[in-house]
Structure 1
Amino acid sequence: MYSNTKSNGFRENNDYKRHALTLNTVHKLNAKNELSILGTFSDLKAFIPSSLNETDFANNPESAAFTWKQSRGFEDTKRGIIGISLIHKFNEKLEQSTSVFMSFRNSYEPRPFNILDETVFGYGLRHRITGNLTVNDKKINWTSGIEFFKDNYKYQTFENLYEDFPEANSSIKGVALSNFKEKRYYYNLFFEGRYPVTSKTDVVFGINYNKTSYNLDDKFPVSSTNK
């Protein structure tokens, strides 16, 4: 599915343009195996009018905030994700599903106070087993699995020199102000069971363990103002 959205907006510096593409397909490989693929991509550019003070809002609500209009502040973002899942059915009582995915986001956002440049790339895995067993003529449904995600996040800020070049009527990228690289890790283990005590009451029990860790690296050169 493809969509194309455009808008001039009600306010100044309020143009909006977005392209989006989505793919979703399911393949029945055989009686016990099913493969599904999901992918999305979007390309967005949205100018930012920002907020107004009470006087400007009352007298000229369609105007943009002065500094955002002068710098032509906007957000330009491209993002996508693709995932593949395989479901295998062992029998009527046991099934497993495994999913792997990758995602990315590239974003460039000039603001009056600085320009933000971001890149994110991530990937992950999710494996789950579901089943049921009978105890005292009652069916216990259970699920167990593991998840892992990793993100590599890079972001920099730069001076915005729009005030030094008013004739450009746009943001002007200056020297770097910061430069960071961050790695994020997520782990998750889980188990859940459901036991029908009576026809109207179920007992749900479960256990979960998760761990999140971050590694931040400041890549900006050390100076008297950055130690």
Structure 2
Amino acid sequence: MGYDHQFSQKWSIQTSIFSNYKDAYEPRPFNILDEKIISLGLRSNVNYKNRLFSLPFELSFGTELLTEKYGYSLSKNLYQSQPGQGSIQGEEFSAIKQNRNYTNYFLQMEFWISKKLHLETGLALNTTKYSLEDVFENNSGGQKMPFTFGNVWSPRVGLSYKVSNGKNIFTSVSKGFSVPSVAETLTPEGQINTNLKPEIGWNYELGFKGNWLTNKVYTEVTFYSTQIENLLVARRTAEDQFVGINAGSSSHTGLEFLVNYKILELTQLQIKPYFSGAFNTFKFKEFLDGDANYSGNQLTGVPEKQFNFGVDLNTKNGFSVNTSFRTIGKIPLNDSNTKYSERYSLLDIKTTYVFTILKILKIELNAGINNALDTKYAANILPNAVGFGTAAPRYFYPGNPINFYGGFSVSYVF
């Protein structure tokens, strides 16, 4: 829920509050996981627009505050004791509650240095705090253990140069971070790992955006390189238990591109094919795990190539068809790069019809098909999976077969 207010032509503010709730129950081979997450946040942004040296100037600053309560419990899964009955919840043997608080402050400035050169720069400050309570061991409301990753500063600067009408070159340098997830912060004993550090990355980009053939063709191409320190990886310590560790550093270099073509643009009908893709060269720069040295190996769980081709068809009477054909390249399944997943392709089709009633009600109807070719593929990869007993390692979580959906929305137009 948000509120926008324009104080004057120069000053404005946007404020919103947001919340999220998740209740998940997952029967697994080794146990049953029951987890709940509820969060509440506030985001506020103040904007100032003016002219500096007769050129446009914009300044914005604000904050985002988020508090999140996370709790989970583990129970025995008794499916083996009563075959054919499915998962049966048994005795609870672990329960954890964790409170997380995120504080973000940011400042951003945009300025036209000249009519062709545009500068964008910003600075953000983040503080993340955790507190943990083992409610299974301390039923009376056990001791909470606070922990913080400290202050993380994230600067950014970007430049854009207008080569000619509809054609721009841009470059940027920025610093980002990623704090560990709940599971990564916990030790096998259920305590917070105070030695864990957030991932820190510097990102460098150089790209081009431009229109061609009297604006019928639009292209984007971006070269980027992200250098990450304190790389977070998951180490398996038991049948159903992982802990997060800082494993060294990695290099993420790649190229992304996009081409849109208005092949047909009539009053009654528009047809726009598009083609996009990415080439990824993601490698461990330095990664030592015990006696194993994975430095120089391809980063686990990331495909080398991804492509997406589609066609968008729109008619004047509100009917549209959108198609997408995605191809994902092979993915390394373990840090040693001895196993890979197979390449796969997916075709999705969506149709939409939009119309109005009495000029005040906007109705949108939609229907579609996901995985129209009924491809068998792995939607998720579990890196470095390990088999226990006679069971083979479970690297793959299968994706949905062909499936259909439909929906509608109603909007009131003032």
- Answer whether contact 1:40 1:82 (CA < 8 A) is retained: yes
Give aligned-pair identity as a percent. Answer: 11
TM-score, with structure 1 as normaliser:
0.64
Deviation, 1:198, is 0.8
1:187 aligns with 2:271: no
- Answer whether contact 2:259 2:276 (CA < 8 A) is retained: yes
Corresponding position of 1:203: 273
Corresponding position of 2:358: none
> Aligned match of 2:144 in 72, 76, 79?
72
Rounded Cα–Cα distance in structure 1 between residues aligned with 2:195 and 2:179: 8
- Answer whether contact 1:104 1:122 (CA < 8 A) is retained: yes
Question: Cα 1:46–1:142, aligned 2, differ >3 Å: closer, same or farther?
Answer: same
Count of equivalent residues = 185
Deviation, 1:89, is 0.5
Rounded Cα–Cα distance in structure 2 between residues aligned with 1:16 and 1:75: 10
Rounded Cα–Cα distance in structure 2 between residues aligned with 1:138 and 1:123: 34
Deviations 1:57-77 (A, max 9, x none): xxxxxxx44359645334412
> Aligned match of 2:110 in 15, 26, 36?
26
| Alignment map for 1:93-108 (pairs within 5 Å) | 93-104=166-177
Write 1 or 2 for the structure with the bigger share of helix.
1
| Alignment map for 1:1-227 (pairs within 5 Å) | 1=61, 3=63, 18-49=102-133, 64-66=135-137, 70=142, 72-77=144-149, 78-104=151-177, 112-114=189-191, 115-119=193-197, 120-134=199-213, 139-153=216-230, 181-199=247-265, 200-214=270-284, 215-218=286-289
Unaligned segments of structure 1, at least 5 residues: 51-63, 156-177, 221-227
Unaligned segments of structure 2, at least 5 residues: 1-60, 72-95, 233-243, 292-414
Deviation, 1:143, is 1.1
**One-letter amino acid of the structure 2 residue matched with residue 127 of structure 1:** L
**One-letter amino acid of the structure 2 residue matched with residue 196 of structure 1:** K
Deviations 1:2-50 (A, max 9, x none): 558697x8x9987665543111111111100111112211213231346
Deviation, 1:183, is 1.1
- Answer whether contact 1:75 1:109 (CA < 8 A) is retained: no
Deviations 1:117-160 (A, max 9, x none): 223332111111011211xx6621111120111111167xxxxx
SS of the aligned residue for 2:216 comes to strand
**One-letter amino acid of the structure 2 residue matched with residue 193 of structure 1:** V
Deviation, 1:181, is 3.5
Rounded Cα–Cα distance in structure 1 between residues aligned with 2:129 and 2:228: 24
RMSD: 3.9
SS of the aligned residue for 2:196 comes to strand
Question: Cα 1:106–1:207, aligned 2, differ >3 Å: closer, same or farther?
Answer: closer
Rounded Cα–Cα distance in structure 2 between residues aligned with 1:46 and 1:151: 23
TM-score, with structure 2 as normaliser:
0.38
Rounded Cα–Cα distance in structure 2 between residues aligned with 1:82 and 1:180: 23
Question: Cα 1:47–1:30, aligned 2, differ >3 Å: closer, same or farther?
Answer: same
Rounded Cα–Cα distance in structure 2 between residues aligned with 1:5 and 1:207: 35
- Answer whether contact 1:110 1:116 (CA < 8 A) is retained: no
Question: Cα 1:145–1:153, aligned 2, differ >3 Å: closer, same or farther?
Answer: same
**One-letter amino acid of the structure 2 residue matched with residue 121 of structure 1:** I
Tell me which of the two structures has the higher relative contact order, counting C-alpha pairs closer than 8 angstroms and 6 or more residues apart. 1
